[in-house]
Structure 1
Amino acid sequence: MSDYLIQNRDPYFAAAQEDRSAPRTRITIPATLRFSGARGYQSVVHDLSLSGFCAAAVNRIHPGTVCWLTLPGLEALQAEVIWWDNSLVGCAFEQLLSPIVHDNILTRWRGEPVYRNL
């Protein structure tokens, strides 16, 4: 049986995938995505958190692959692929985004201020 089938039939694995280290915000941001050993291409970020993102990735990308995400106005952010499913890739940033940078991105692309509970 493939690892994919084992992971999808294991309820503990599924629950662990939803145990996120930071809340995700659904958003649409044009970006450039480049995987190790490949050329960058235009993509769209579909959700963003302090710890990672989900973006469009037409070709299958294997977990553990290193990638770089470039958002408009920012330097490339290094991340690691955690999962790929149906043309979407989920990645964890090598270093957490600064909450200030994260909130500025959301404010710019959602058009409304972001307020944090302290």
Structure 2
Amino acid sequence: MELKGAGEQVEKRYRRAERHKWEVEISVRRRGDPAVGTTMTDLSRTGFRLRTYQILKPEMELWIKLPGLEALKARVCWVRDFEAGCAFEDPLYEPVFHHLVRSAQSSR
């Protein structure tokens, strides 16, 4: 889902890295909970957006599992309805990020 209007401009201004549309099923685990499936809708080296029915709150720690990678630690930055924006604890290594983006583009 793309954001539209003035809010999109404000959101882009505060991003640390360019985001790519990347709709893929991943697993997400909150501290002390089992992993659940959810949809990642965009990805950057520093973060991502989720579409989820899981209850998330800003500053909550998560562990996500991307295809072909070990679990990565992230923090919830914002929550709006059934979407959440999250930041990786450590940015993705640039070649890994580009590989993920290329893989997603070739699977469309």
Q: Under a length normalisation based on structure 1, what TM-score does the superposition of the two structures give?
A: 0.77
The DSSP-based 3-state class of the residue aligned with 2:103 is helix
SS of the residue aligned with 2:53? coil
Equivalent residue, structure 2, for 1:23: 18
Equivalenced residues, count: 99
Structure 2: how far apart are the matches of 1:59 and 1:85?
A: 12
Q: Which amino acid aligns with 1:99?
A: E
Change (3 A) 1:30 1:59: closer
Which stretches in structure 1 are left out of the alignment for 5+ residues?
1-10, 113-118
Q: Deviations over 1:63-105 (max 9, x none)?
A: 0100011012110110000011111111000001011000000
Aligned to 1:35: 30
Q: Quick one: distance in 2 between partners of 1:31 and 1:60?
A: 16
Write the distance in 2 (CA, Å) between the matches of 1:59 and 1:75.
Answer: 21
Provide the residue aligned with 1:105 in structure 2: 100
Answer yes or no: is the 8 Å Cα contact 1:60–1:84 preserved in 2: no
Name segments (4+ residues, structure 1) moved above 6 Å.
none
Are positions 1:51 and 2:51 aligned together?
no
Counterpart CA distance in 1 for 2:17 and 2:41 is 15
Q: Does residue 77 in structure 1 map to residue 72 in structure 2?
A: yes
Counterpart selection for 1:91 from 79, 82, 86: 86
Q: Which has the larger radius of gyration?
A: 1
Q: Alpha-carbon deviations, 1:37-69, whole Å to 9, x = none?
A: 222101111000000000122133110100011
Distance 1:24 1:93 in 2: 13
Q: What is the CA–CA distance in structure 2 between the aligned matches of 1:72 and 1:50, rounded to whole Å?
A: 15
Stretches of structure 2 that go unaligned for 5 or more consecutive residues are 1-5
- 1:61 & 1:22 partners in 2: Cα distance? 23
